[in-house]
Amino acid sequence: MKSHTCRAALVALLVATGPAEATGPAEAGHDRQAAASAADPHPTFTVGTATAQRGQKVYGALKVPAGSDAGYDIPVVVIHGARPGPVLAVASGAHGSEYASIIAVEMLIDAVKPDDVAGTLILLPIINVPSFERITPHVNPTDNKSMNRFYPGDPKGTQTDRASYEITKEVIDQCDHLIDLHGGDLDENLRPYSYWTVTGNQKQDDFSRAMVLAFGLDHIIISADRPKDPKASRYLENTATTRGKPSFTAEAGRSGPVEIGDAARLSAGVRNVMAHLKMGGTVAAPLRNPVWVEKIVSLTAERDGMFHPTVDRDAHVAKGARVGIVTDYLNRPLQDVVAPEAGIIMFIRALPSLKKGDTLASIGVVKMGG
Ligand SMILES: [Zn+2]
């Protein structure tokens, strides 16, 4: 009975892989081959239009179908390593003018060779193509929605909902881990940092913490207030995390121009995590003493006007310290912007343009004794 099952599996394998070979003296070899294939959960790997065999790098697209508005293609690369291993997805460009994070993934497309990889790397360099094309910060200009707030998506919604649905189905459901890369948008003067999401599941949280430390950015925001319901996960990282897949978000780059050092830090961070996950490469020394940020205080504009920052990104500010001034269009002071708590300027508004409700600065409150 056992050998029949084996033979059936072998026949199925030969049918699936094409060329049939004669049975006979080589049968022991076939059994080994069958065993090796049975141990490989992904002889091929498909994301959208990209199907890769082991040892291949394949370029394709996730097709977002037309609905109440236009459809579009989200570019994707599948690097299906020569040997089995974890499936890591790396996404950027949910905000299509956070350029350093996009260029980081472009760098990975060239740098990672499938022969060196154990496992599979799914690369999505530009989720929000309409934002990239039209240089629109924060949102998808097609439906005016942030492309990191509508997961797990909806096939019947507007373009952002449908794109989010495709990414959940094609990428999140197939990966073991996800890294979502962001950075300072056109109006954000940001210092680099990662987020570590705390779910309350000790094993998963230890796993994701080790990934964040391996990634290597030395400021880490502890994120404990993200949704727990996988049906209302909102964020991309959270969509993977609420499905039991240790994942995280990292940010570097700011305010338009690509500083190649920022892109390189993100790209090197991904290589570090790949090494940590035993997907290939050298394990870099994990961070020993990162700055843990336990709370983010966002300062918002009370009225329309013009913003004049008085501190730079990464400044350490005392409670009550001034971080900027809002004036009217005739340079008359309207609002003194002060820090309600002591902390680090994680980002500060990079442009004078200001509407009521815009974020002026984000202050990271450092965890003491952490
Ligand atoms: Zn972003």
**Could you tell me which of 296, 294, 252, 293 has the C-alpha nearest to residue 270?**
252
Instruction: Provide, rounded to the nearest whole percent, the portion of the chain with pLDDT above 70.
Output: 89
Per-residue pLDDT tens digits for 210-231: 999 999 999 999 998 888 999 9
Q: How far, in Å, is the centroid of ligand 1 from the Cα of 356?
A: 21
The pLDDT assigned to 261 comes to 97
Q: How far, in Å, is the centroid of ligand 1 from the Cα of 137?
A: 9
Predicted confidence (pLDDT) at residue 7 exceeds the cutoff of 50: no
pLDDT band at 11 (very low <50, low <70, confident <90, very high): very low
Predicted confidence (pLDDT) at residue 356 exceeds the cutoff of 70: yes
What's the rounded mean pLDDT across residues 103-110?
98
Q: How far, in Å, is the centroid of ligand 1 from the Cα of 13?
A: 44
Residue whose entry in the numeric block shows the structure tokens 């081959």:
33
Predicted confidence (pLDDT) at residue 270 exceeds the cutoff of 50: yes
Distance CA 344, CA 6 (A): 62
Distance CA 277, CA 353 (A): 43
The pLDDT assigned to 4 comes to 37
Q: How many CB atoms lie within 10 A of CB 142?
A: 19
**Could you tell me which of 336, 337, 359 has the C-alpha nearest to residue 347?**
359
Q: How far, in Å, is the centroid of ligand 1 from the Cα of 100?
A: 11
Distance CA 188, CA 355 (A): 14
The pLDDT assigned to 31 comes to 52
Per-residue pLDDT tens digits for 45-95: 999 999 999 999 999 999 999 999 999 999 999 999 999 999 999 999 999
Q: How far, in Å, is the centroid of ligand 1 from the Cα of 93?
A: 7
Q: How many CB atoms lie within 10 A of CB 140?
A: 26
The pLDDT assigned to 34 comes to 52
Q: How far, in Å, is the centroid of ligand 1 from the Cα of 95?
A: 5
Query: Which pTM was predicted?
Result: 0.89
Cis peptide before 152 (omega within 30 of 0): yes
pLDDT band at 286 (very low <50, low <70, confident <90, very high): confident
Cβ–Cβ < 8 Å for 183, 190: yes
